[in-house]
Structure 1
Amino acid sequence: MWSADLYLDRLYKETVAVQTEVYDKQWKQTLKEKVAKALGDFSSNTEEQTVTELEKVDMGEYTRYRIELTTMPSLKMPIYLLIPKHHTLPLPTVLAIHGHGYGHKELVGLNPDGSARAKSTYHEDFAVDLVKKGFAVVAPELIGFGDRKLQEDQGKGKPSDNSCYRLASQLLLYGKTLAGLRVHECIKVIDYLETQKEFDSSNIGCMGISGGGLVTAFTSILDERIKATVISGYTNTFAGSIIDRRHCLDNYIPNILQIAEMPELIGLIAPRALFIEAGKEDPLFPLEHVQTALTQLEKMYRAFDVEHLLASHLFNGGHEISGERSYDWLVEQLK
């Protein structure tokens, strides 16, 4: 056999075999620092955060705003803000993170051209569902999708096409990652929330699916202002998902397996509240490895004596948002 299969298999086994099972504050701090380094350094002489209101639409039960936020020099991010009516301010707030597709319009019931959409996508318009639960919902558009594709990709192919490969590959040349850039921008969004009277900065949650689940997980690892996290359609093992099939390049973080396997990384969210949602028929993040991850997460949450803050729902479905239990769980944690 001249292929590299056996070598890669041995490399994985040798790498994960040396990882610790001693979960304490020192372990957590050490791994968080390693995770931040692996994602890449995005510190800069940050410009003052400027905000421009782009639209305001009365949606009946809530008001939908679209704003533009400066996240770092040369980068501006469009964000949908959904604010429920007839609620006392400040409001518990959920950062809603979309996955692969045509961007944050998928979360708020819009087509790529901004017109109202009748049939939902795998995102199930979950930002709308959450605002109807009484949350203020903040839905940023991740770099590389929708209106934030590279100029050469604008207006070409399908609306769901993205610029992930070119962004991720170029960032790697600078020792940075696309995952890290997206996480950095989401942290900047939380900075913005703390300056606005509508949002209760002591009750911030984060929910995302698929590639948005990745961003949700790593943002929650690094930013402890997030009190409760829902990861949908992502929690697994690297061996069972990212390594096992071809995924978008935005999933690949140099040296990450030398830091920890995916369950241990997600476990860095402890002792804060965590909900894992996964479809039993999800072909991208298979059930068997979801269960392996949950077993590991349970062990870690026990080590921090917070088993009651870990919950999960394995639902009958595929790679999609459910919300059947996760929405009400967020209500319990944040309201």
Structure 2
Amino acid sequence: MIDRRTALAGALMLPLAARAEERWDAIVDPRTGTLGKALDQAAAAGGRPFRILVREGVMIEKLTITVPNVTIVGSGRGTVLSFGTYAGLKHPDGNNWGTGRTGTLTVAAPGTTVRNLTIRNSFDYIGAKRDSTGNGAQAVALVIGREADRTLVEHCWLEGYQDTLYVQGRSRIADCRIVGGVDFIFGGAAVWFERCEIVTRYVPNVPEFGYLTAPSTPAVQEFGLVFSRCRLMREPGVPARSTWLGRPWRAGGNMALTGQSVFLNCWMDAHIKREGWTWMGYKGPEGDQRRLTPQEARLFESASRGPGAGPASATRRTLNAADAARFTRASVLGDWNGLGG
């Protein structure tokens, strides 16, 4: 019998034969070349569709996609893009890197497609916690910036601990495995997640195991982080009732942000807390410390299943059938069909 992990790996792997028949503008072998050089070629192409195939191997690179219509396709989970910058590290400009600049891969242009590879932030989060040097431990694997409208990420493995995936541009994330611990899917974009595995990582000697999401959705924006038919999993050692579905992030104390996360028809393992959601602190306009609560934000579920699916409560609100029906791929993505290059 094939176990679920093997089946998932097969599902996330694009057929080699199909890839061999495709046309590529650049092919990267990590043993002899770099993805950065291929992205330089894409930039020189001036925004015309540019397709890059990356063979299996590990690339230690920190990269930004700066021109539109770039497609990057790996050869499976063994195609790894990895780097280890974290927010508290000093940048050459004298300031800290800060969360937004830590991404191993940053998408800063529209029409990007990323398929079939691992994107990892390799910062030693566990070591930093052990040695009490974890201040500024945010370390992003993938940043989808505000300029990155119509980003498609599918059949990928996104790996980090705190702040794995930062989404500020409209995106579709499909058939991916997203691994992290604290606020590891966050941002203000309208994003449609489908058939993804959302995996909470084990960290020794911590009382709670963090938050899956931290949405910073503008109040005027109808849709935020929407998860459809996903599976909420945990690594061995993560205890039952230890993990929040999320908390609303009022970034910079911006009162116009009322984060939205919605889980639709998702299976949840027993690590999810019964209360579901919790508050997040911020500074008010007068500099006073405040809390944005689940009741003030837009945090909902519909048709949750599994041992982590808790009863409805003041903090764990469920959508009625009519409201749940509003959340479709077409409504979240608007005038874009969610397909890429």
Say whether the fold is shared (TM-score over 0.5): no
TM-score (norm 2): 0.31
Structure with the bigger percentage of helix: 1
Structure having greater relative contact order (Cα 8 Å, sep ≥ 6)? 1
Structure with the bigger percentage of strand: 2
